[in-house]
């Protein structure tokens, strides 16, 4: 048996100014290829980890042309997409495969294509019309016809935070293996409803997504090989942004359509619960001050800077929430993190123990949203200088190597501020430990995150205060100008269906 395995992952925030060249794909600069990719992902709790494990279990020959995953940012550079898709298509051309296992994101927009994954699958099918293809996808997939038409089986995450990347690829891969043996004939039905669920309301521990995902899981008992409800990624001004469903059955089109419709109807009837209610920053911080400090053994009060989440395309360098924390005099705070490679280099030059005065953040202009992002001048003592490399503790992407680039911590006396050189969302405790910060010893922890922080810090936080700051992941959708998404769409136009 010969299997082609590959990864191409990017969630595109079309409002983001953060560039997406090829070098952004990968935890070392750039993607990994062949044996190096197999070695990096074998045994990890990732989609590729699951595919490699399945292939080795079957005694298959593995061809892994490229593993390319990038943190979210603006549309992917054309030459980066052509390189990644080209590597995969060249391998397909070599031929002789019994199956193709792809770990994709499902919300990749390139400079040319609105549906990067659909374009990749269309090209693969043009070369090889018959070899079965499994695709594992993120819950934030914005689904298109071309993805469904050119794949054999699609399966998406059922958790947000995404702690089932491994399970999802395993599910997709097992269905593919059964198909290759002639033991299953996957039949897919997909559809969408005109709604853009708010990211802050998409958590799979909360109503309504918890119930929707439980219903997807229960559908395997009703004859589905796999049922997926994608909440969609709303910070993408593309035609098919929003909620969608794909159901895979064993040759039963009518059943796939029936189960799809049940999920879509439930999601639509819950649409109001997917709308987020905003609170002013001053109100949030005043509330944070009234929360009792954590007792020994209790976790910190999380101040969630959710407008600037780099795992949704944020620049990670806006300073509105950090400036308010300093202005309001909050004490014993860790702030994670400000992306500022220049300030990191200035700090490294000064050395541990030195006092520095730095202008941090506010360096990346955000022309697609209102307001100006200002740098913040900070005088602080250099506490830590680190490589920024760590391995995820889990449960999210356990064991996967992460790289924040050269990283430092500066201490103002009341706030320890992490400055990093590569975008990494703080969703794993090891990103703190590697910089010598123990969040459990802090009264407050400011996080540039939204839902993913629940993976590593969810159960540890004493309380969470959502802080409306500034950034291209704005939770105020009236700040975003949508020109291409299909209209009307809820809640932008409040349509009745
Ligand atoms: Zn996602």
| Residue range 293-316, pLDDT digits in tens | 999 989 999 999 999 998 899 999
Answer yes or no: are the C-beta atoms of 80 and 87 closer than 8 Å.
Answer: no
How far, in Å, from the CA of 290 to the mean position of ligand 1? 33
Ligand 1 centroid, distance to 140 Cα (angstroms): 5
Query: What are the backbone angles phi and psi of residue 329, rounded to the nearest 5°?
Result: 75, 25
- Looking at residue 497, what is its pLDDT? 42
Instruction: Determine the distance from the C-alpha atom of residue 306 to the mean position of all C-alpha atoms in its chain, rounded to a whole number.
Output: 14
Q: How far apart are the CA of 50 and the centre of ligand 1, in A?
A: 18
Ligand 1 centroid from CA 392, angstroms: 17
- Looking at residues 240-255, what average pLDDT do you find? 98
Torsions phi, psi for 412 (to 5 deg)? -85, -5
Q: What are the φ/ψ torsions at residue 220 (nearest 5 degrees)? A: -65, -25
What are the pLDDT digits (tens) for 253-277?
999 999 999 999 999 999 999 999 9
Please say if the pLDDT value at position 155 is more than 70: yes
C-alpha of residue 379 to centroid of ligand 1, in Å? 36
The percentage of the chain sitting over the pLDDT mark of 70, rounded to a whole number, equals 99
Write the pLDDT tens digit of every residue in 430-443.
Answer: 999 999 999 999 99
Whether the Cβ atoms of residue 487 and residue 196 lie closer than 8 Å to each other:
no
For the purposes of burial, counting CB atoms within 10 Å of the CB of 175, is it exposed (0-12), middle (13-18) or buried (19 or more)? Answer: buried
* CA 355 to ligand 1 centroid distance, Å: 39
How much is the pLDDT for 27?
65
Distance, in Å, from the CA atom of 413 to the CA atom of 407, rounded to the nearest integer, reads 19
State residue 174's pLDDT score.
98
Give distance in angstroms: CA of 139 to centre of ligand 1. Answer: 5
pLDDT at residue 313, rounded to an integer: 93
Residue 343 is predicted with a pLDDT of 98
Which residues are 301's β-sheet partners? 444, 463
pLDDT of residue 451: 78
Reported as type and span, the H/E element at residue 137 is: strand 133-137
Helix (H, G, I), strand (E, B) or coil at 361: coil
What's the residue count for the chain? Answer: 497
Tell me what pLDDT residue 455 has: 66
pLDDT at 468: 96
Q: pTM above 0.85? A: yes
Task: Over range 452-469, report the average pLDDT.
Answer: 84
Please give the distance, rounded to the nearest whole angstrom, from the Cα atom of residue 311 to the centre of ligand 1.
Answer: 8
Predicted pLDDT of residue 394: 82
pLDDT at residue 478 tops 80: yes
> Does the structure show a pLDDT above 90 at 401?
no
* Span from the CA of 484 to the centroid of ligand 1 (angstroms): 21
Partners of 224 in the β-ladder: 249
Give the model's confidence band at 29: pLDDT under 50 very low, under 70 low, under 90 confident, else very high: low
Task: Report residue 407 as tokens.
Answer: 């990283």
Q: For residue range 333-385, list pLDDT tens digits in order.
A: 999 999 999 999 999 999 999 999 999 999 999 999 999 889 999 999 999 99
**Contacts of 305 by beta carbon, 8 Å cutoff, 6+ apart:** 318, 320, 321, 322, 446, 447, 448, 449, 467, 469, 471
> What's the mean pLDDT in 176-183?
98
**Gap from CA of 178 to ligand 1 centroid (Å):** 27
CA–centroid distance, residue 326 to ligand 1 (Å)? 31
The CA distance from 326 to 43, in Å, is 43
- Residue spans of beta strands (DSSP E) within 361-424: 376-386, 389-391, 401-403, 407-411, 415-420
Rounded distance from Cα 289 to ligand 1 centre (Å): 32
Instruction: State in Å: Cα 309 to ligand 1 middle.
Output: 12
- Segment 126-148 shows an average pLDDT of 98
Distance from the alpha carbon of residue 57 to the mean position of ligand 1, in angstroms: 28
CB 139 within 8 A of CB 10: no
Query: What residues have CB less than 8 Å from 289, skipping those under 6 apart?
Result: 328, 330
105 Cα–ligand 1 center, Å: 8
Q: How far is the CA of 138 from the centre of ligand 1 (A)?
A: 5
Give me the helices (H) in 95-133, please: 116-127
- 143 C-alpha to ligand 1 centroid (Å): 13
- Rounded to the nearest angstrom, the distance between the alpha carbon of 283 and the centre of ligand 1 is 29
461, exposed or middle or buried, with CB in 10 Å at 0-12, 13-18, 19+?
buried
Residue 238 Cα, ligand 1 centroid: separation in angstroms? 17
Average pLDDT of the segment spanning 198-218:
97
């Amino acid at each position: 048996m010969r299997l082609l395995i590959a990864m191409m992952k990017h969630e595109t925030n079309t409002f983001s100014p953060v560039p997406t060249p090829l070098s952004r794909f990968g935890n070392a600069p750039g993607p990994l290829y062949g044996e190096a990719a197999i070695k990096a992902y074998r045994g990890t709790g990732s989609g590729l980890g699951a595919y490699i494990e399945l292939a080795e279990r079957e005694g298959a020959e593995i061809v892994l042309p490229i593993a390319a995953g990038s943190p979210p940012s603006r549309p992917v550079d054309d030459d980066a997409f052509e390189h990644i898709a080209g590597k995969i298509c060249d391998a397909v051309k070599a031929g002789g495969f019994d199956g193709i296992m792809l770990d994709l994101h499902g919300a990749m927009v390139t400079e040319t294509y609105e549906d990067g994954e659909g374009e990749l699958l269309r090209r693969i099918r043009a070369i090889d019309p018959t070899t079965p293809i499994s695709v594992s996808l993120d819950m934030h997939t914005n689904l298109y016809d071309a993805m469904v038409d050119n794949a054999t089986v699609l399966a998406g995450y059922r958790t947000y935070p995404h702690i089932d990347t491994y399970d999802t690829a395993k599910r997709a891969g097992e269905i593919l293996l059964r198909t290759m043996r002639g033991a299953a004939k996957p039949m897919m039905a997909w559809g969408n409803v005109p709604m853009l669920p708010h990211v802050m309301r998409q958590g799979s521990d909360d109503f309504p997504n918890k119930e929707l995902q439980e219903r997807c899981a229960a559908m395997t008992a009703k004859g589905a090989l796999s049922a997926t409800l994608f909440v969609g990624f709303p910070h993408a001004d593309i035609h098919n942004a929003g909620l969608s469903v794909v159901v895979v059955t064993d040759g039963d089109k009518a059943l796939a359509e029936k189960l799809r419709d049940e999920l879509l109807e439930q999601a639509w009837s819950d649409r109001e619960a997917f709308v987020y209610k905003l609170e002013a920053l001053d109100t949030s911080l005043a509330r944070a001050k009234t929360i009792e400090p954590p007792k020994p053994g209790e976790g910190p009060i999380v101040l969630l800077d959710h407008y600037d989440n780099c795992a949704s395309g944020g620049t990670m360098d806006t300073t509105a929430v950090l400036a308010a924390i300093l202005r309001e005099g909050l004490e014993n705070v860790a702030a994670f993190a400000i992306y500022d490679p220049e300030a990191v280099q200035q700090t490294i030059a000064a050395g541990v123990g030195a006092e520095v005065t730095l202008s941090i953040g506010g360096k990346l202009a955000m022309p697609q949203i209102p307001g100006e992002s200002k740098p913040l001048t900070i005088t602080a003592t250099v506490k830590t200088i680190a490589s920024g490399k760590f391995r995820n503790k889990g449960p999210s992407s356990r064991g996967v190597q992460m790289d924040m680039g050269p990283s430092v911590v500066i201490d103002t006396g009341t706030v320890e501020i992490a400055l990093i050189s590569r975008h990494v969302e703080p969703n794993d405790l090891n990103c703190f430990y590697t910089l010598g910060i123990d969040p459990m010893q802090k009264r407050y922890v400011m996080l540039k995150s939204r839902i993913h922080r629940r993976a590593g810090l969810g159960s540890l936080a004493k309380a969470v205060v959502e802080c409306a700051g500034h950034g291209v992941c704005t939770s105020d959708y009236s700040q975003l100008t949508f020109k291409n998404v299909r209209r009307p769409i809820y809640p932008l136009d409040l349509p009745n269906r």
